[in-house]
Structure 1
């Protein structure tokens, strides 16, 4: 039996993880469930899975969660960073699924690594903001980091058994989102409802907006750089609207290996949870005859400025990716509240990056200070 802590149990990744746990109750058990504010769903998950620990963002939400549970419930209810860290380092847990959205996933993931837990990583911001800290610590502790993002899972699978020194480049695929063919002059009029209407993937709101701006792909470039120790200039992004090829690895002999599958996160999640064995999760392979064609395009950096900014941040290194991510989180949150327009997102990020003084070899305090500074700066740019 593999016991799990799930950081982000009420999000799209978390719900898919629990669906796989339901399929294989003899293989997986849940010791800790962690969310931010979605106490209604978390209460239902607690009643179904009976974890030893559940944690939410603050004491107010802890009290709301407690009121939703019967007095006979034995789950210990915790809150805040200390609670997340306790859940991440639970003694009986062998794997922590890091699925929080945003930089909030960094500290509990570090706690899990310090405690020697295997990491199923869906929180790309952990490596975007602090990859130079996370990967060396994981190596020191002998902790495997198994990617859950479909693109990084694809690369991981294409690298399996191969010599990493023979890799020429990594090729990340992007659906292109809902605005792949939208003219530049029309993008200033994009509405929130349009941006949330992703053509192929079902995801949470923040990630859906990141996909619409292609920032999600930019963050994945930085994550892949750290996860696979490949320089950012050897990572390519191609737009693939069908979302069947999840990513590729090109080798020095010109051979390209690709991983293909349905656009459904359960495949990558199941691979990480049960690695190195695969699980039958009832997913059929793509119907290639029905697809007829798989197409690929070069992304337009002039229309999708966020992707170019992410490459710039990767090139600058140090705390610049931290500033990029923090500014993006603030800008996207404001767009979701309809306080700014779609094209204001890259404008705010770029202005924040331009004002940032990079710390080239950051420690955790530097990362956290850069994150806090960039959030303040982005907020000032939104509300001068």
Structure 2
């Protein structure tokens, strides 16, 4: 296991010596869940961190302006060029007379430009595969990458591995942060397997037949975490866990047959590493994303009081269950896709996003999400360019997968409608 992207025994050092004082941070996806929690950590640790730039999609202009003013950033970026006038007006309303406004970047490449700007660490909290270009830009520029955008690694794994130095990526997903920490407890040659925990979502214990009747409202009611709609549905189908298994394989260079998923409803154990002597190291904390975010920003140092710890004065029970692979086939499908490599993970991810949209719109049953994704993956077949992947390959595969998933979802909706008539 020598090809790890996130190796806890190695600390990546930027070419230039880090200056004394606060560490300069760029936050991509600042108005989302990861971004807002990261800003909370920064504001509570002004002597440790300084945010130099922010990026967002552009749907929450007022919040972005508030963040920019509060943090006094040098630049803000939005993917939507049409919101620039509103953003400029919102910024002007918050800054005093004579105060310089931050530079505004806009367009699909704006976040990528910020990712390569001068700083120590880039936190990529963007949702979706559009985070691939900023991930590559940050790595090529020699920045430490606090990675919350799992999709960029999944769809562009070979591309990321080609440019990342060992230890340059610090994972921010709670599961991978847990593995990152637990792996520090032994040598790489001593690792027997990685155990990735899953809450089980809102439908743990239901049969495949019972899942067919699930509504969008039910699927959006996650019992533990507060997340966006796509990630919440992915958690309900366990597609999210499948993506995390692929990510763990790529980050830590552990074969798929040595990565196991176990259901842990309380979400206090975020993942575990089993070593060859039979011991298992687990990372435990209450379900609060601020802890792994703070570790990503501060690595190799921990940020004091980033999030509450476990209250050991209260009685509590933590449960673990084997994964029901019949009711939730998404993890096995993800492992198959990861083994295929090439553009297959991009096809899997893009088709899933389209199927989630179709389900939320009422055009696809809950179980139809993974069934349709599996059909798209099967049609895609074995990628021929697994060893020579390019960004263009990824984009082309995603475009095809999205179109095909929409066609299959529309066909399923028509069939369902005709059956009701």
Regarding TM over 0.5, the answer is: yes
Specify the alignment match of 1:18 in structure 2: 39
Specify the alignment match of 1:119 in structure 2: 145
Shift of 1:63: 2.8
1:12-51 correspondence runs (5 A): 12-36=33-57, 37-51=59-73
Residue 134 of structure 2 corresponds to residue 108 of structure 1: yes
Which stretch of structure 1 is more off in the superposition, 348-357 or 258-267? 348-357
Residue 155 of structure 2 corresponds to residue 129 of structure 1: yes
CA distance in 1, matches of 2:327, 2:85: 46
Selected match of 2:280 from 252, 256, 261: 256
Selected match of 1:8 from 19, 29, 36: 29
CA distance in 1, matches of 2:141, 2:307: 34
Selected match of 1:87 from 87, 108, 114: 114
Query: Structure 1, residues 117-160: CA drift from partner, whole Å, max 9, x if none?
Result: 11000011111111122023112xx6610010110000000111
Aligned pair count reads 381
Specify the alignment match of 1:152 in structure 2: 176
Q: Is the 8 A contact 1:81 1:108 kept in 2?
A: no
Specify the alignment match of 2:271 in structure 1: 247
SS of the residue 1:322 aligns to: helix
Shift of 1:291: 4.6
Shift of 1:364: 2.3
Selected match of 2:192 from 158, 164, 168: 168
SS of the residue 1:81 aligns to: coil
Specify the alignment match of 1:96 in structure 2: 122
SS of the residue 2:321 aligns to: coil
CA distance in 2, matches of 1:336, 1:65: 30
Change beyond 3 A, Cα 1:143–1:168: closer
Shift of 1:200: 1.1
Specify the alignment match of 2:17 in structure 1: none
Q: Is the 8 A contact 2:92 2:101 kept in 1?
A: no
Specify the alignment match of 1:371 in structure 2: 398
Shift of 1:338: 3.5
CA distance in 2, matches of 1:86, 1:284: 35
Which stretch of structure 1 is more off in the superposition, 97-106 or 356-365? 356-365
Specify the alignment match of 2:5 in structure 1: none
SS of the residue 1:222 aligns to: helix
Shift of 1:245: 0.8
How does the TM-score come out when normalised to structure 2? Answer: 0.87
Q: Is the 8 A contact 2:290 2:306 kept in 1?
A: no
For structure 1, the residue ranges without an aligned partner over 5 or more in a row are none
Change beyond 3 A, Cα 1:335–1:75: farther
Q: Is the 8 A contact 1:20 1:281 kept in 2?
A: no
Shift of 1:62: 2.3
SS of the residue 2:322 aligns to: coil
CA distance in 2, matches of 1:2, 1:282: 16
Residue 365 of structure 2 corresponds to residue 337 of structure 1: no
Pair member with larger Rg: 2
SS of the residue 2:350 aligns to: helix
Q: Is the 8 A contact 1:120 1:145 kept in 2?
A: yes
Residue 308 of structure 2 corresponds to residue 284 of structure 1: yes
Shift of 1:239: 0.2
CA distance in 1, matches of 2:208, 2:400: 31
